[in-house]
Amino acid sequence: MTSSLNLWLIPVLPLAGAAINGFLGKKSSRTAVSTIGLVFSGAAFAWALLVAWRFSSVALPYQEYVAHWIRSGNFSADFALYLDQLSLVMLLVVTGVGFLIHIYSIGYMWDDPSYYRFFSYLNLFMFFMLTLVLANNYLLMFIGWEGVGLASYLLIGFWFSKDSAASAGKKAFIVNRIGDFGFLIGLFLLIQHFHSLNFTQVFNQVQPLAPETSGAGLLTTIGILLMVGACGKSAQIPLYVWLPDAMEGPTPVSALIHAATMVTAGVYMVARSHVIFERAPGALMVVAIIGTLTALFAATIGITQTDIKKVLAYSTVSQLGYMFMACGVGAFSAGIFHLMTHAFFKGLLFLAAGSVIHAVGGEQDMRKMGGLRSYIPWTFLTMGIATLAISGIPPFAGFWSKDEILWKAYSSEHGGLVFWLIGVITAFITSFYMFRLLFMTFFGDYHGAKVDEHGHGRHSHDAHGHGEPHESPMVMLVPLMILALLSVIGGLVGIGDRFDHFLAPVFGSGAAEAAGEAASSTTEYLLMAVSVTVAGLGFILAYILYVSKPYLPQKIADSLGGFYDTVLNKYYVDELYARLFVKPLIDASTRILWQGIDRKVIDDSVNDAADGARHVSDEVRHMQSGNLRSYAGWIAAGSAVMIAYMIWLGVGR
């Protein structure tokens, strides 16, 4: 190791910020709190940039030992960091987008009474996310994994006095537990068979193994278990239900944790474990199917939602599905590419949505918006750019990454026409519901109440003026603009497979890549044209339905009847889960664990023991009468018994 990069500083800086704000923030002024929050997250970003700057001068993968942790027999896991092209991309996305969202939060959260708590949590999240990204073994990664779950829980339930926020936080935490269970068992299997959780050591042992083409073996099992973990964290079917509810959190949190960074941890983990997945086609197939289904499923729900953040939440689930589809067809770099561009445009969409919500005084229902274009032009502009980006209109960022995924889904040996087809349909739906959101919010007439002092208790900062919708302060607009810029140019790094080549040392020149190069470029352009066309169609359809003939959607909804209701109610998945899992669990807990075991067995046995002791002592205490002569009588009788016993034994004879 010629020169140390001091990677450890990157996660530790936000931790210091979290500690300072958490312990001292209550007594500090808002300015001090925001300074500390910004300085420490900004310093992490700066250091990450420095690392990127010196990236070419270090031998990769670069490993940094920080501290001794677990040494047990021949198993060891240390606090040690790992840097390669993949972690560098994640590092820059997390610190960069994270820093921008910190800035934005100053404006958005300014009037919140728990201002310092918010920044402390946000910095804490950064610490855990960076630990996750930089870990050199699965165990340390798991620490980060659980840590971001904790931060997510704390931030979803940030307004914990509101019942729905508190239960949304719990829901996120519990659903993630299910995924973590799978992840943990996967880790146990890794320890059992490879005696290590260190990335390098595990992958070196997996590398020589042959792909499990015939039937499921060890690697397939591990792969599927890891995918279960990823399903929880990255909100895939069947564990996606927590993410839409997570919108109860403040909007910057939705942008940072539930769109740009934390939910992509599953994609990162799968990509990091690509050595395992590449040798387990069965597991890859599972990843691809789950990803594809989630993409389509969530997108259809997105069409019907009217809460602006819920639309974006389902859109996030759908886009994460895209990333998993990419990983599932073996195109890990395409998945990471989409992860990055998605972080830009979805972070931007959420922040812009936050700005809209801010403008209209806490209202989230799009039906009560409309015509906001003229009131908040900057928000409209940036959100428009993000919408173009997510819809896959060239040359915006989303186009490049989405097209890459669709192309790989079609051309990869693990992929197929079906994946591509569903991907294109999803792209159409995505474009439709995103433009629907844009048109409902910014076009037409303003439907909101202009002077409305009631019903806006949602955000404390909305206590100030309602009246006209107003543009957000500069501190919120600047991050929007920077992210908008990134949403425009962020995709350009992917031109000519440059992003692919950058990540090639990590993922190797896999079969997917080779197949991609081999296929004719005519096909590629044809498919590209198709996906751009469907994106355009989505735009046109949304324009017809929501701008030129706004009475049509209701008619269509009415004509679809029951089906529309099903989609509107999110396919009743929450109700199904409640019926299938939650209610039986609560019933069983109530009847068996609480009434049965706790009440009947534990409580009763303790009470019975106490009652028994009292009854016995009630009888016994009457022997202590205080009557001297009765005591003497007992002594005499006892002595007599003793003497009789001795005579019977024949003592002295």
Partner 1 sequence: MVPLSYYLVLSGILFACGVAGFLIKRNIITIFMSIELMLNGVNLSFVAFAAHWHALAGQVFVFFVMVVAAAEAAVGLAIIIAVYRTRETLNVDQVNLLKL
The residue among 451 and 628 lying less far from partner 1, judged by its C-beta, is: 628
The residue among 27 and 621 lying less far from partner 1, judged by its C-beta, is: 621
Least Å from the CB of residue 641 to partner 1: 14
By CB neighbour count within 10 A (0-12 exposed, 13-18 middle, 19+ buried), where does 150 fall?
middle
The residue among 454 and 629 lying less far from partner 1, judged by its C-beta, is: 629
The residue among 560 and 642 lying less far from partner 1, judged by its C-beta, is: 642
- 289-323 in b/e form (b: 16+ CB < 10 A) is bbbbbbbbbbbbbbbbbbbbbbbbbbbbbbbbbbb
The residues, ordered by sequence, that sit 6+ positions from 511 with a Cβ below 8 Å of its Cβ are 330, 412, 413, 414
- Quote the longest CA-to-CA distance of the chain: 124
For helices 30-53 and 115-134, the axis angle rounded to 10 degrees is 20
How far apart CA 420 and CA 300 sit, in angstroms, is 17
Least Å from the CB of residue 631 to partner 1: 8
Least Å from the CB of residue 624 to partner 1: 5
Least Å from the CB of residue 622 to partner 1: 8
CA angle 351, 135, 259 (to 5 degrees): 15
Least Å from the CB of residue 633 to partner 1: 6
Least Å from the CB of residue 594 to partner 1: 40
How far apart CA 455 and CA 435 sit, in angstroms, is 28
The residue among 586 and 644 lying less far from partner 1, judged by its C-beta, is: 644
Least Å from the CB of residue 626 to partner 1: 3
**If you count DSSP H runs as helices and E runs as strands, how many of each does the chain have, helices first?**
28, 2
The residues binding partner 1 (CB under 8 A) are: 621, 624-629, 632-633, 636
How far apart CA 225 and CA 476 sit, in angstroms, is 41
How far apart CA 528 and CA 405 sit, in angstroms, is 11
The residues, ordered by sequence, that sit 6+ positions from 615 with a Cβ below 8 Å of its Cβ are none
Task: Please give the DSSP secondary-structure letter assigned to residue 463.
Answer: G
The residue among 463 and 632 lying less far from partner 1, judged by its C-beta, is: 632
Least Å from the CB of residue 22 to partner 1: 57
Least Å from the CB of residue 625 to partner 1: 6
Dump the DSSP string for 509-536: S-HHHHHHHHS-HHHHHHHHHHHHHHHH
Least Å from the CB of residue 27 to partner 1: 58
CA angle 261, 143, 291 (to 5 degrees): 45
Q: Looking at this protein, which amino acid is placed at residue 259?
A: A
The residue among 29 and 630 lying less far from partner 1, judged by its C-beta, is: 630
The residue among 67 and 628 lying less far from partner 1, judged by its C-beta, is: 628
The residue among 554 and 625 lying less far from partner 1, judged by its C-beta, is: 625
User: Which residues, listed in sequence order, are joined to residue 434 by a DSSP beta bridge?
Assistant: none
How far apart CA 327 and CA 321 sit, in angstroms, is 10
Least Å from the CB of residue 642 to partner 1: 14
The residue among 160 and 631 lying less far from partner 1, judged by its C-beta, is: 631
Contact between residue 312 and residue 430 where contact means Cβ atoms under 8 Å apart: no
CA angle 472, 339, 323 (to 5 degrees): 130
The residue among 597 and 616 lying less far from partner 1, judged by its C-beta, is: 616
Q: Looking at this protein, which amino acid is placed at residue 191?
A: I
Contact between residue 459 and residue 357 where contact means Cβ atoms under 8 Å apart: yes
